[in-house]
Copies of this chain bind each other. A is one copy, B any other.
Amino acid sequence: MTETQNAARVVPVILSGGSGTRLWPVSRESFPKQYWPLTTARSLIQETALRAVGDGFAPPVVVCNQEHRFLIAEQLRQAGILGARILLEPVGRNSAPAMAAAALLIAEQTPEAVLWVMAADASIGDAPALAEALTQAVAAARGGRIATFGMRPTAAETGYGYIETGEALAGLPGVFALARFVEKPDAAAAAAMLASGRHLWNSGMFVATAATLLAELEAHAPQVLAAVREAVAQREQDLDFLRLAPVPFAAAPSISFDYAVAERTRHAAVVPADLGWSDVGSWRALWELGEKDAAGNVASGDVLLEGAEHCYVRSDGILTAVVGLRDAVVVVTKDAVLAMHRERAQEVKAVVDRLRAAGRPEAVSHNRNYRPWGFYESLIQGDRFQVKRIVVHPGHKLSLQKHFHRAEHWVVVNGTALVTRDGEEVLLRENESIYLTLGSLHRLENPGRIPLTLIEVQSGAYLGEDDIIRFEDTYGRS
């Protein structure tokens, strides 16, 4: 019996499909918020995965965008999460298809296993309260329920959906019937719900057996289930990843599990809880979560404050000085600055939409690009030249490749490089260089025990990343 075949263990299902636009400029499509350390020294997805480790849990199933596969594998490895199964979505189709895929995969071995479905990017401050609520939810799940967690509201928040609780369920301490879901309300409705005592914030987590989820998907979203069943059946193993079949998966309706199933099922239940939960949905939320100085500021990175009050200031790049501002958010990355009023945090999406419409790369991607072998970043782009810094992990190698429009100079500045150039192997040490003519067939490898850092100077009329022909690739990309 493999670990995941033990039905006594809860299977964490981590949905990592979001792009976290409202946390721009840190969070971007190519490297969304769940992969950033925002609330602690670990990334949100690392914190999420570490909430569900130990005897009571099977290794997690993670459902994510295929573009992020190396990122997520590396982050799970760094956090010591072993045995995760990573399901790759060829396109995003919202949470109902993602959950269907996870449930189908798990049901192949243990349909009676209880799944704890959670977003990759929330923060939960109260671990003991979570453990207690989870125990109650699992009991409900084993009784055929789809249990959610309802957070007791502390403010008339208009940014969250709400859950209206019904009667207590007999034999299930701490669990209530779920009367109805309420979508993000206006201010008056939010105030009324805060006063009612029967309304809770919807955390978006679900606890249910694979069998229950599949039965309810069959009843309420048969198109979703049929398409995803096909995508799972035709999946391909790709290194450590499970790649859902693109054509059938793309045929699944894009719909949230809330709409597709949770609002319709007669088996929904809710566990009211105070988990110190936040969806980490905006810079304002990060200010609320952060540790404040005497003037109410949350600051991180190379930051200097002079007379600032109640500000959130973060620099992942250059020196940032904030003088005399109140209730402001200032976020600095290597290639973009956001300065805004803290209570306008929802408008960041409009900024990203404008940048995207203008074709600005800063809207969707970062200057530093992560690859399975390490990363590279552009230091300067000029007229017919570009300078990059390339870092290769020990023991890793890039694909065997050639370019038609550019020549490259490589200078090793740290570590050792093994370069293959037109069949010849050259070992380069610190301070040695090599020239790769246009059209030469070449490969870069770090044969050493420490990271290899290389400065690459490219020359040519066209320097786009798509001028590459890959002949062999360790990571299945050729």
Contacts and interface: CB of A to CB of B under 8 A. Distances in A.
Contacts of A325: 325, 328, 339-341
A178 to B, nearest CB: 37
A397 B387 CA distance: 24
B324 A343 contact: yes
B360 A384 contact: no
Nearest to A458: B413
A341 B341 CA distance: 12
Integer count of this chain's copies in the complex: 2
Contacts of A347: 306-307, 323-324
B319 A362 contact: yes
Given A347-B323, A409-B411, A330 B335 contact: no
A459 B409 CA distance: 16
A25 B304 CA distance: 13
B319 A335 contact: yes
A342 B286 CA distance: 26
Interface in A320-342: 320-326, 328, 330, 332, 334-341
Interface in A51-82: none
A50 to B, nearest CB: 31
A431 interface: yes
Interface string A423-464: 000000011010100000000000000000101010100000
Interface string A335-366: 11111110110011011001100001010000
A382 B453 contact: yes
A323 B307 contact: no
A465 interface: no
Interface residues of A, number: 56
Nearest to A383: B414
A277 interface: no
A307 B457 contact: no
Nearest to A322: B339
A341 to B, nearest CB: 4
Given A354-B306, A455-B387, A337 B330 contact: yes
A306 B431 CA distance: 47
B431 A433 contact: no
Given A431-B459, A455-B387, A457-B411, A319 B344 contact: no
B322 A335 contact: no
A297 interface: no
Contacts of A382: 389, 413-414, 453
A335 B318 contact: yes
Nearest to A360: B319
B435 A459 contact: no
A121 to B, nearest CB: 22
Contact of A380 (B307, B379, B384): B379
B306 A459 contact: no
Contact of A338 (B321, B383, B455): B321
A409 B411 CA distance: 8
A226 to B, nearest CB: 43
A27 interface: no
A409 B431 CA distance: 8
A318 B337 contact: yes
A315 interface: yes
14 contacts: A307-B344, A307-B347, A319-B336, A319-B337, A321-B355, A322-B339, A324-B341, A325-B325, A379-B379, A379-B387, A382-B414, A382-B453, A385-B414, A411-B459
Given A25-B319, A387-B389, 7 more contacts: A318-B335, A320-B336, A379-B380, A379-B387, A385-B413, A409-B411, A409-B433
